Amino acid sequence: MNILPVLLKDGYKVGHVFQYPEDTTMVYSNLTARRSRTGVDGVVAFGFQYFVQEYLVNQFNRNFFGQHRTDVIREYQRRIGNYLGPGITTDHIDALWHRQYLPLCVKAVPEGTVVPLRVPMLTIRNTEPEFYWLTNMLETLMSNILWMACTSATTAFQYRKTFERYAKETGAPKEFVPWQGHDFSFRGLPGVEAAMLSGAAHLLSFTGTDTIPAIDFLEQYYGADSDKELVGGSVPATEHSVMCMGLQETELQTFNRLLTKIYPVGVVSIVSDTWDFWRVLTEYLPAMKDTIMAREGKLVIRPDSGDPTLIICGDPDSYTPVQYNGAISTLWDIFGGTVNAAGYKELDPHIGLIYGEAITLERQEEILGLLKRKGFASSNVVFGIGSYTYQHVTRDTYGFAVKSTYGETRSRGGVPIFKDPATDTGKMKKSALGLIRVNEAEDGTITADENVTWEEEDRGLLQTIFHNGLAGNTQTLAEIRARLEAQL
């Protein structure tokens, strides 16, 4: 949709241009994750470069500055007049159109930085006095675009850290870890933009994805090049309709056809619970063992229903041997494997398992812990991470907020400002005060100093990524991945 970008805001923002003191010349605000509902104490910074390039540059140039002045003013008057009633003033919109760029300065920490809670990760201010109203007009849009990008990047990083820990503890190959978390969330996210943002955030920590547009997103906005680097990848995989069309009574023949005729080499994932997963384990896989072991590649079976922990690791309350043992132990009994240097079992490379149903960080920990106790390396399982993980969050998961902490007026000069509601018993909504400097110590510790001078603010970790219509300090996916991995 081609919407005037000055309309991409909450309705109450319309009148703020008139509500500030008449001699206001600057408003300075910051984006901060204020608290955690997950126990995580640091949030991954991501999405800033996209926000700046797509909205502050592309959309303003195309849908505002690039449109005829009279069309812009007429559309603004129509929308806001219908919304709030007659008497709409458009002088400030007209003045902005004549400027032909956004007189703003946006600074941010390098993307991929894990920023502690209550430390600002981005600041924004106007650069010309008459456009003081622009800073917080963009609060709605900025928050809308960035909270999910940062939240999904943080969630993926938590999955990655857990995989890394178990790989180290069980001697699993480290190079396999980036493939152990696979993005299955596309269909469950609220729109294509959300899927691309969240999917790109996932790819900061992993390489496995079914969200193809996330790769295009990273190429367009983050300097990635899938011809020269692994941005994201997957393997051929079936779905239930494929298995159903092959019919239940000939499911074994469908498996054989897929393995010998359609994919005689390479990795292929076959959904295995369209009817009876346990029958696949106990009848079909033993019957196909010679075929599977002779293939130059891997068969990955995919259960897609039920309780992941019980199906993968075993159900201690079941009297059926295969369900009691669980899928991984059963695969070991059929195909065997090796015991690595750390003393943990790794399945034969011709067979594997991926599970993408209702996986959470808690279940990841539980499953990998149970497998470890049963003597299996963490690399025996891949998890599909879906919208149950990436959509079951809100802006309040990490308390994201854009708040003003400094302003300037002609009569009073610089004015450090803050909010500290008396009714906010947890002091979660208390804001910082004044200009902000974000620091990074030699050991990587990140802190924030409040109420600093302009000279001090300019020397911190925050880097200018947008100034007066131009994006700057762009980063590549490779740089962001390296920065994030260094913080593991």
Predicted local distance difference test score (pLDDT) of residue 8: 97
Residue 77 lies in a domain: yes
Same domain, 179 and 95: no
Residue 229 and residue 377 in one domain = yes
Beta-bridged to residue 339, according to DSSP, are: 345
The CATH number for 237's domain is: 3.20.20.70
Mean pLDDT of the residues in the chain: 96
| Among 323, 357, 390, residue at a domain's last position | 390
The C-alpha atoms of residue 133 and residue 346 are separated, in whole angstroms, by 60
Domain endpoint, select from 390, 422, 444: 390
What confidence tens digit (pLDDT) does each residue in 477-487 have? 999 999 999 99
- Tell whether the model's pLDDT for residue 431 goes beyond 80: no
Q: Are residues 430 and 466 in the same domain?
A: yes
Please tell me whether residues 345 and 253 are part of one structural domain: yes
Residue 398 domain-assigned (yes or no)? no
User: Is the model's pLDDT at 426 over the cut of 70?
Assistant: no
Residue 428: pLDDT band (50, 70, 90) is low
Please tell me the predicted confidence (pLDDT) of residue 345.
98
pLDDT on residue 184: 96
pLDDT for position 427: 60
In a domain, 436, yes or no: yes
* 329 and 356 share one domain: yes
Q: Does residue 347 sit in the same domain as residue 298?
A: yes
Residue 254 lies in a domain: yes
Residue 174 and residue 290 in one domain: yes
Note whether 373 and 407 are same-domain residues: no
396 found inside a domain: no
CA 217, 218, 221, 227 torsion-angle sign: negative
What CATH number is associated with residue 435?
A: 3.20.140.10
User: What is the spatial distance between Cα 145 and Cα 50, in angstroms, rounded to a whole number?
Assistant: 9
Q: Are residues 329 and 264 in the same domain?
A: yes
Phi and psi at residue 268, to the nearest 5°: -140, 135
Between vectors from CA 314 to CA 309 and to CA 317, what angle results, nearest 5°? 105
Q: Are 108 and 462 in contact (CB under 8 A)?
A: yes
Q: State which of 369, 390, 411 marks the end of a domain.
A: 390
pTM for the structure as a whole: 0.96
pLDDT tens-digit map of 270-281 = 999 999 999 999
Measured CA to CA, the distance from residue 368 to residue 303 in angstroms comes to 17
Same domain for 214 and 324? Answer: yes
For position 381, what pLDDT does the model report? 98
pLDDT tens-digit series, residues 365-401: 999 999 999 999 999 999 999 998 999 999 999 999 9
Confidence of residue 422 (pLDDT cuts 50, 70, 90): confident
Distance CA 125, CA 28 (A): 4
Asked if the structure places residue 385 within a domain, the reply is: yes
Identify whether residues 345 and 364 lie together within a single domain: yes
| Mean pLDDT value of segment 289-307 | 96
The total number of structural domains in the chain stands at 2
Q: Stretch 436-456: mean pLDDT, rounded? A: 95
Q: Are 127 and 162 found together in one domain? A: no
Confidence of residue 45 (pLDDT cuts 50, 70, 90): very high
Residue 220, domain member (yes or no) = yes
Instruction: Report pLDDT digits (tens) over 215-266.
Output: 999 999 999 999 999 999 999 999 999 999 999 999 999 999 999 999 999 9
Report the pLDDT value the prediction gives residue 153, as an integer from 0 to 100. Answer: 98
Write out the residue range of the structural domain in which residue 252 sits. Answer: 158-390
Model pLDDT, residue 182: 97
